[in-house]
Structure 1
Amino acid sequence: MSPDHDTTPTDPPREPGSSPTPDDARDQRGPRERHEEKIHDEALEETFPASDPVSPFVPARRPD
């Protein structure tokens, strides 16, 4: 093979109009998005069961 060819395996092609599965989408997120999702999930667990929606608010740091 010539060096111009990519030898890494690729995912099979998707059907037109299909969207990635939740696991595929989760794998494509960057570290910041995964961290935000983890924080949101933890907030949800801490407030469950409750009638109020989760607030992923992060307070600012206090000035030194």
Structure 2
Amino acid sequence: MNHDRNDVNHPDHKAPAKPETPSEKKERKAHESENQDQALEETFPASDPVSPFVPAKAPD
């Protein structure tokens, strides 16, 4: 499947043919964690404050 397991309304969503094995679950969780880490890195540095730009007055 090429969609997130939480996409229950996805057209390709159907019940799994067999239950997930412990090793499959571990692999899926690792993949989800890697995706989350990558998404977090892409938003870095979201916690940095915005630097307000104050333009100087034009010389007369």
TM tier relative to shorter chain:
0.3 to 0.5
TM-score by length of 2: 0.39
Identify which of structures 1 and 2 has the higher relative contact order when contacts are C-alpha pairs closer than 8 Å and 6+ apart. 1
TM-score by length of 1: 0.36
